[in-house]
Amino acid sequence: MTDAHSLDQVIADALTERELDYERPQPGRFHVTLPGIKKQRTNCWLILGRHALSVEAFVCRAPDEAHEEVYRFLLRRNARLYGVHYTVDRLGDIYLVGKVSHAAVSADELDRLLGQVLEAADGDFNTLLEIGFASAIRREWDWRTSRGESLANLQAFAHLLEPAGQRPRVADEADS
C-alpha cells in the first residue's frame, strides 16, 4: 500500500510535469487551475483522503431558469464521463466530482481525470449557459447593444438572439 506522503509527491510531480498551475495549501490538498477556452479556467481541488483521492471542480453557478432541462442535460452527460460526474450543491451550483482509490493514483490516471474535468467543464460550459441563463444573456446583449459596448464574448450566444444566418456583425471581430 502506498503511503499518503508518496501519493502527495506523485500528485505534485504529475502537476508540475504537465505545467499546470497549482497551490498546495497543506499536504494532500492541491488547488489546480485548468486553462480553458469557453470557460477561461476551471478551479479543481484534489484532496487526498484516508482511502481515496477526491476530485472536485466548480463548473457553473445555479441556473436562473430551465432547471429541469439543465439537470436532464447533466444526468445524460454523466453517462459519458470518465471518473467524475456532475452534481449540484445545496445552492444548486454545478460541480464535477469523483473519487479514485489510492491504489489507482498515478500520473497517467491524474492526466485522464483532469483531462476529463477540463473537457467536460470547458466543453459543456456554453451549453449550460444557453439552457440555464438564456434570458440573462439576452438582457446582457440588449444592454451592451444599447450602450455600444463590445459583444465579443457573447458571440457564442448570438444564435439565441437572431434567426439562423442573420448573426449581427461585431466590430471587435471584423476589425481585428
64 and 9 part of one domain: yes
Q: How far is CA 60 from CA 13, 94, 98, 103, 130, in A?
A: 29, 5, 17, 31, 12
pLDDT tens per residue, the chain (176 residues)? 456 679 999 999 999 999 999 999 999 999 999 999 999 999 999 999 999 999 999 999 999 999 999 999 999 999 999 999 999 999 999 999 999 999 999 999 999 999 999 999 999 999 999 999 999 888 988 898 889 888 788 888 888 876 544 444 444 433 33
pLDDT value of residue 165:
44
* Amino acid occupying residue 85: H
**CATH number, domain containing residue 52:** 3.30.1460.70
Q: Are residues 116 and 58 in the same domain?
A: yes
Residue 64 belongs to domain spanning: 4-132
The structure's pTM equals: 0.84
Residue 158 pLDDT: 84
DSSP states of 1-19: ---HHHHHHHHHHHHHHTT
User: What pLDDT score does 25 carry?
Assistant: 95
**Whether residue 60 sits in one domain with residue 19:** yes
pLDDT confidence of residue 95? 98
Same-domain status, 73 and 105: yes
